[in-house]
Amino acid sequence: MKSKITLKKIAKEFDVSISTVSKALKDSHEISEEVKEKIQAFAKYYHYKPNSLALNLRNQKTKTIGVIIPQIVHHFFTKVISGIEQVANKNGYNVMICMSMDSYEKEVLNMDMLANGVVDGIIVSVAKETEEKENYSHFRDLIYNGIPLVMFDRVIDEIKCSKVLTNDLDGGYLATKHLINIGCKRIAILTTPDFVTVGNLRLEGYKNALENSLIPFDEDLVLKIDEDKNIEEQIKTLFSLKEPPDGIFGVNEIYAAYAMKYARKQGYDVPEDISILGFTDGLISQFSTPTLSTVAQHGNTMGQKAVELLLNEIEYQDTDYQHQTKVVETDLILRESTKKL
Amino acid sequence: MKSKITLKKIAKEFDVSISTVSKALKDSHEISEEVKEKIQAFAKYYHYKPNSLALNLRNQKTKTIGVIIPQIVHHFFTKVISGIEQVANKNGYNVMICMSMDSYEKEVLNMDMLANGVVDGIIVSVAKETEEKENYSHFRDLIYNGIPLVMFDRVIDEIKCSKVLTNDLDGGYLATKHLINIGCKRIAILTTPDFVTVGNLRLEGYKNALENSLIPFDEDLVLKIDEDKNIEEQIKTLFSLKEPPDGIFGVNEIYAAYAMKYARKQGYDVPEDISILGFTDGLISQFSTPTLSTVAQHGNTMGQKAVELLLNEIEYQDTDYQHQTKVVETDLILRESTKKL
DNA sequence: TATCAACACGAAAACGTTTTCGTTTCATTT
DNA sequence: AAATGAAACGAAAACGTTTTCGTGTTGATA
């Protein structure tokens, strides 16, 4: 293979100095027209492009932002990424996406690699395992090293940085309240294990709504899904209660879709016998039968806001910039899986 | 903010040379235990990490591979990326993901930025607009500059590089043949505009299957979806034919899902009145009602193979490495949207 | 006492770029 | 003739790292 063309090689070709070549390619007035022309022609012919590494090293910035997300197969995250791309590109920044696969180790590895000159700042949604282990030293290191950090969706309270989050508490409340309003008496919730904070917040919202409507909280109606086990089997227990639920709130669309599938298989009519409400407005919600009512999360907006906050921090690095927390509200999208009012 | 700690700063701190610090941190025998200890302790205390840019510049490699995909919201691409991540990480490589948004300009922009020292090689699935414009000079430039390139799924025949593709021809054949086997007489196909090669290949497979079963090809049953317009409206025309179809093959799961939704809304029973078959085994297929039979594409495998090919090229860059093309076969996954045999 | 080896460290090049600050040459002005 | 100025280019530092090749000091050996 032919190795890449550099300033040095061009300089050698014309027996001039490297600085002359650099200036010639920048059309500097310091260089004679004659020399400029031949150098520019040569560079063009050989498709010369300045080496980004060298440029970044010199400029001490990369015009790239790093994003670490737990999973890319989740519709919500792809929406966030789209939002990130939009705003980043508009501001002349590139985006580098890494996946932690919800693993603590991979999260640390990715951060280490991004932190050392590769990007100007990092946007992250914390891996489940990290939340579980509560080991946050890699975030502290990052901040210590002066690299701007913004967390979104799955954030950590103890870490001081800008954050963008869904109003999960309110979303949970909204969902549950609506189920109550349409007449559900026994509302179950399908949520995540305790250590997943967003799941917990939605559960809190659920409890608040019950309390607000003077409906007693029933522990039996709370199902914490273990994703390593068969999900359908776990949902089954809900339907074999003496008093099975007449409304189900799933803290994500997968759980809701599973619940709906199982209910219909058992002969329930959705929404007549049981109403089902999900969280996150993904493809499943739109294409399931019946279509799924859901709490929309506006991932796109979250991504955009995250970049805005990050770029602020990147630019005001020297001044004592105050970290901000933006809360993105949720919306109820009513479709066919819930009874009409 | 405190700026990052470097070898130079450590050297200054102890009044030694940079090389001494570098060696000390590498535990070189050239440095006395005493000096090594204090330098290592200091470095650890200040969380020293070598700057990747500097390292990459020196080593002339980044241990990073770039991936350019048209869209991240497609389930198939997320599967491919997962496969890429797996193999890349196993081999000590990082992955940088960029989106072209199916735009020619963004594809070129991303390639330019990746090409200049940022990554050791690039994996790409071509943007729709690029296929339409047939402007491939950016790929030629890349190869000319000696940067290994692997294309997957949406590939370009004229560009000489390694490729990983789905057996779209066979997949189209398989799907259509199955619809014929279960007794469909009038099989429609929902495909993409002409310039999308994968759509075209699946259409070819469809034609082959018809021919093989001596069923005359009917132009009216071929619907080329324009995604800028209302998809449901376009599907409508199919059902208002004098002889509407009794089987539909959608070249992706979205088209199939739309068709199924529309058919059921018109009172058709799926699969009794009409059988529907999709392409790509995504979430929609699994959660729709009825669940969607489909041609599975094995995105994960494709991603893995793409990385394997790329790493080969990166390592054998000097020798005259022969480009390879790997074809990944498809599988028929039969669910509820097609009649049983 | 001269020689040699081991030890502990420093200088400098290299990766590719930009930019500041010379330096040379030649022509013009006083 | 001396001074000034512009034009055209080069040298070198800087970004942060690694590594090869010195070099000076010590201690031991012949």
Cβ contact, residue pair A54, B57, below 8 Å? yes
> Touching check for B58 and chain A: CB below 8 Å?
no
Given a contact cutoff of 8 angstroms between Cβ atoms, the answer to whether B249 and B277 are in contact is: yes
Q: Is pLDDT of B4 > 90?
A: no
Query: What is the pLDDT, as a whole number, of residue B319?
Result: 59
**Is there contact between B2 and strand D, defined as CB under 7 Å from any strand atom?**
no
Residue B315 resides in a domain? yes
Say how far A25 CA is from D21 C1', in Å.
36
B290-307 confidence digits (pLDDT tens): 999 999 999 999 999 999
Q: Which residues of chain B lie closer than 8 angstroms to A318, CB-CB?
A: 1
Residue B117 CA: distances (Å) to CA of A114, B35, B49, B63, B109: 16, 36, 21, 11, 14
Same domain as A175, residue A143: no
Tell me what pLDDT residue B84 has.
96
Q: Is the CB of B142 under 7 A from strand C?
A: no
Domain with residue B186: its CATH number is 3.40.50.2300
What does the pLDDT read at residue A182? 97
Query: Which residues are registered as beta bridge partners of B295?
Result: B279, B332
Q: Are residues A262 and A291 in the same domain?
A: yes
The answer to whether residues A194 and A278 belong to one domain is: yes
Average pLDDT over residues B34-51: 94
Q: Are residues B198 and B219 in the same domain?
A: yes
pLDDT value at position A319?
59
DSSP state of B315: H
Residues B228 and B84 in one domain: no
Domain membership of residue B190 (yes or no) is yes
Regarding whether A312 and A257 lie in a shared domain, the answer is no
Asked, for residue B118, whether it belongs to a domain, the answer is yes
The residue ranking higher by pLDDT, B124 or B196, is B124
**How far is Cα B138 from Cα B121, in angstroms, rounded to an integer?**
14
Q: Which residues in chain A land under pLDDT 50?
A: 1
Judging by beta carbons within 10 Å of its beta carbon (0-12, 13-18, 19+), is residue B112 exposed, middle or buried?
A: middle
pLDDT (tens digit per residue) in B206-253: 999 999 999 999 999 999 999 999 999 999 999 999 999 999 999 999
Domain that holds residue A66: 60-166+299-328
What total of structural domains would you count in chain A?
Answer: 3
Reading the block at residue B149, the tokens are: 């390139």
Asked if B157 and B119 sit in the same domain, the reply is yes
State whether residue A118 sits within 8 Å of chain B by CB. yes
Q: What distance lies between CA B29 and its chain's CA centroid?
A: 47
Q: Does B80 touch chain A (CB under 8 A)?
A: no
Q: What is the 3-state secondary structure (H, E, C) of A57-101?
A: HHHCCCCEEEEEECCCCCHHHHHHHHHHHHHHHHCCCEEEEEECC
In a domain, B317, yes or no: yes
Burial class (CB in 10 A: 0-12, 13-18, 19+), B185: exposed
Nucleotides of D under 7 A from a protein CB: 7-12, 14-22
Residues A210, A226, single domain; the answer is yes
Residues A185 and A293 in one domain: yes
Q: Check CB contact of A4 with chain B, cutoff 8 Å.
A: yes
A54 touches chain B (CB under 8 A): yes
CA of residue B46 relative to chain centroid, distance: 41
Tell me the average pLDDT of chain B.
Answer: 93
User: What is the edge-to-edge ordering of all strands in the sheet holding A247-250?
Assistant: A222-224, A187-191, A247-250, A275-279, A293-296, A331-333
What is the arrangement of strands in the sheet containing B331-333, beginning at the earlier edge strand?
B222-224, B187-191, B247-250, B275-279, B293-296, B331-333
Instruction: Determine whether the interchain pair B1/A50 forms a contact, defined as Cβ–Cβ distance below 8 Å.
Output: no
Q: Does residue A119 fall inside a structural domain?
A: yes
Could you tell me if B164 and B306 are in contact, meaning their C-beta atoms sit under 8 angstroms apart?
yes
* B204: helix, strand or coil: helix
Does residue B207 sit in the same domain as residue B266? yes
Whether residue A125 lies inside any domain: the answer is yes
Judged by DSSP in three states, B331 sits in strand
* C-beta separation of A142 from A313 below 8 A: no
Residue A52 Cβ under 7 A from any strand C atom: no
Residues of chain B with pLDDT > 90, as a percent, come to: 85
A241 touches strand C (CB under 7 A): no
Through-space separation of residue B23 CA and nucleotide C7 C1' in angstroms: 15
Residue of A101, A144, A289 lying closest to B288 (CB–CB): A289
In a domain, A338, yes or no: no
Give the pLDDT score at A75. 87
Nearest CA among B228, B290, B227, B225 for reference residue B263: B290
Please tell me whether residues A177 and A271 are part of one structural domain.
yes
Select from A110, A118, A283 the Cβ nearest to the Cβ of B284: A283
**DSSP class of A214:** T
- Chain A with chain B: Cβ pairs closer than 8 A: 130
Output the pLDDT for position B112: 87
Q: Is residue B38 exposed (0-12), middle (13-18) or buried (19+ Cβ within 10 Å)?
A: middle
In A221-330, which ranges are E strands? 222-224, 247-250, 275-279, 293-296, 325-328
Q: Do B239 and B192 belong together in one domain? A: yes
* Segment A85-122, tens digit of pLDDT: 999 999 999 898 989 999 999 999 889 889 988 899 99
Residue B173 in any domain: the answer is: yes
pLDDT in tens, B118-160: 899 999 999 999 999 999 999 998 998 889 999 999 999 999 9
Kindly state whether B341 is in contact with chain A, defined as any CB-CB distance less than 8 angstroms.
Answer: no
Residue B203 pLDDT > 60: yes
